[in-house]
Structure 1
């Protein structure tokens, strides 16, 4: 007889909890079909589950995380499949919202854990899950993921995606979102972190790296389906201008300051400060403004101006300015960021001590509690994906920063026209990238309603998200879809044999 609800439980040596869990589920008024996938068990998990009323499928070998869930989904008879873990006894009252959501038309009903405002919300795995949703243009899902139980899935979603997709939950989630026919929502709030038993630091580290790799695989699905920018705007960048063939550098200087500008009001003050700093050359890239607006700041022979009648696009001015001068050190900032000599020198000093890229240390400015916006999440995730979690939210996207001239010529001037791409290229090349000094650009940066406000669709935010997705596309081109986070645990081959 076809059941309305099936509950899937993957279990490995859960003899202590599987009996009470199955009995509680069987007493639930919904009378679900309870399926236990006992894999690699050396205790009485299977027999206890069967005695408590579950349908049991046994595997001699361990299947690894999530694979048992996929096997359970392949044999479940319910119109709704609810996935829980064998070591967590969640009261049916807390499971009800997930089932009701699917009954109401949701195809994938997720647990909203980890909750915003909590320490777990900033855990590397939560950042990875959150970033995946942002790249999929579902920032509303925050860090909610099919990796986390409990969750409920409609029969329709299982048929469209296929049970094997759920062996790597973020892959199933990315496919579901990209498909466009499936409805995915947060349906409940179960604090599973308090229920999940600790298995030791080594296990936690292995799971952390597995989930990060899973989310990278999910991001790869988005790139494959929607392109390297995932459909996010490039805001009209004139990338062709950042190609160096038409520019001939002049005599080499020791230190050059590069300032893209559209004639901002604070430019005169900034140039004055830069003139007092140890620069041999200051280059202003005026674009999309009247050339006459900048003549008042050309006060010394060290200041030169490149003029473009039309805007060249975000970050392209940085690349153009660097290409026009041959320097040992490039210091890059924006015209609307007031700086002092004390803000400039730590970046130049870092290059002198063999740092290749000296970044603004934004973790000293922004507490983790404030790092909840999409740009902060994708910046942190990119560093995690590059195996550089120590960089936090520091990014070439943010000014000011300094770059060694030798290194910039190595990774290519065009790379910094999409700053996260340049950052990834540098890290993968084994270069010394370091967050060296905090400058509070968050407080200083002027709000531009047409770029920042929700009414305008937050195009600058979307640009930054697209830049980081493009950078991850490059990372995956070099390292593969999981980056440096392989999956040595799962036995998807055993699931394939069983399901096929």
Structure 2
């Protein structure tokens, strides 16, 4: 018993139990007490949470970017590198300064191997780098998220009646880049005014609804950047969760998709659209993509992909994805963002057989027709069992 008490005393961190040093009157015995009971939230705290829940939600990951495993060391490393890379004579203008910071950060990412997983390490180091970079110039640091690429990046946002969320979406886009395009179409609320007031983005407004995904083609036509990052105006996604899609293009992908498979229901409970997404990838020999699709945001395209596929085809995402696979462009999963939870329910996209679902299913059928015309009716799956030549048929 004395040996056990000595062990507890020397190593007080015993799996969640608290060990305090015994006072003299306790006769040298270690006292082990239970962890304190959590207090129930007060009424004021509950009301504050309710008010927060009523506004636009950012779909943050369960673990913060600067996790315990990497946050401290990675942040300090970024802080040191940022101070070292701070220019003695910074360029004039925010845009030029941002490009200089991002260029030097991208060089450090390659040098130190900071790109990719675990992303917590990357984001912690990036936050420290921005802080150190501006501290070296004697300036307060902005809330920028540097990107692991020296290539230019544009964010394209489509919006229709998104006055409650568009400001939060653009705030996150501005943390990544100063080239943002907002395509407002068919809105009857204050989306256009909110977008103009919330950001320096180029905002286009069309009084009529352009149709599903046409706004993305319009944005792609306007953008001049090397990497195009697409998202919607109804889902505020933290800038940190958008970085992996840019990194995917930097690593050689032409089409960087959002892997939503971990957030799906079991197959028997999936909707028709989700089943069609998986069927298209399977039919084209890309079982690894599962339910990943250009119909889901966020996703990113390289300049090569935009020029190869064409702007008109981008307005029909399944056909664009099918053609990208047929033309041997590099298509792959780059990030994981749970947009299923944040997808806004509307009259047109709710219920069985709703118009939006029917249209997306039709787009996938067009994609299969495109693939069949190029590869034949069996696509990439040869028939190795039937011996048709014995009855005079095709092999």
Is the pair's TM-score, using the shorter chain for normalization, greater than 0.5?
yes
The answer on 1:274 being equivalent to 2:173 is: yes
Match of 1:145 in 2: none
SS at match of 2:292: coil
Match of 1:309 in 2: 207
Give distance in 1, aligned partners of 2:384 and 2:268. 35
Q: CA deviation at 1:492?
A: 3.4
Q: CA deviation at 1:299?
A: 4.4
Q: Which 4+ residue blocks in structure 1 deviate beyond 6 angstroms?
A: none
Match of 2:227 in 1: 329
Give distance in 1, aligned partners of 2:320 and 2:269. 23
Match of 1:50 in 2: none
Give distance in 2, aligned partners of 1:309 and 1:369. 40
Match of 1:475 in 2: 371
Match of 1:396 in 2: 294
- Kept after mapping to 2: 8 A contact 1:411/1:425: yes
Give distance in 1, aligned partners of 2:240 and 2:268. 26
SS at match of 2:377: coil
The answer on 1:492 being equivalent to 2:393 is: no
Q: CA deviation at 1:452?
A: 1.6
Match of 1:348 in 2: 246
Paired residue total: 242
Give distance in 2, aligned partners of 1:359 and 1:403. 9
Q: CA deviation at 1:291?
A: 8.4
SS at match of 2:383: coil
- Kept after mapping to 1: 8 A contact 2:258/2:296: yes
SS at match of 2:341: helix
SS at match of 1:280: coil
The answer on 1:465 being equivalent to 2:364 is: no
- Kept after mapping to 2: 8 A contact 1:371/1:377: no
The answer on 1:426 being equivalent to 2:328 is: no
- Kept after mapping to 2: 8 A contact 1:291/1:307: no
- Kept after mapping to 1: 8 A contact 2:195/2:203: no
- Kept after mapping to 2: 8 A contact 1:329/1:403: yes
SS at match of 2:169: helix
After TM superposition, the structure 1 = structure 2 runs for residues 100-499 of structure 1, keeping only pairs within 5 Å, are: 254-264=152-162, 265-276=164-175, 278-290=176-188, 293-299=191-197, 302-369=200-267, 372-454=270-352, 457-495=353-391
Shift in alpha-carbon separation, 1:441–1:407, aligned structure 2, 3 A: same
Which structure is richer in relative contact order (CA contacts within 8 A, separation 6 or more)?
1
- Kept after mapping to 2: 8 A contact 1:347/1:437: yes
Give distance in 1, aligned partners of 2:211 and 2:327. 27
Give distance in 1, aligned partners of 2:199 and 2:174. 11
- Kept after mapping to 1: 8 A contact 2:216/2:230: yes
Give distance in 2, aligned partners of 1:458 and 1:416. 23
- Kept after mapping to 2: 8 A contact 1:306/1:321: no
Give distance in 2, aligned partners of 1:300 and 1:441. 23
- Kept after mapping to 1: 8 A contact 2:171/2:199: no
Q: CA deviation at 1:487?
A: 2.0
Match of 1:89 in 2: none
SS at match of 1:441: coil
More strand by share: 1
Q: TM-score, normalised by structure 1?
A: 0.46
After TM superposition, the structure 1 = structure 2 runs for residues 81-92 of structure 1, keeping only pairs within 5 Å, are: none
After TM superposition, the structure 1 stretch with the greater mean CA deviation from structure 2, 260-269 or 294-303, is 294-303
- Kept after mapping to 2: 8 A contact 1:365/1:438: no
Q: CA deviation at 1:338?
A: 1.7
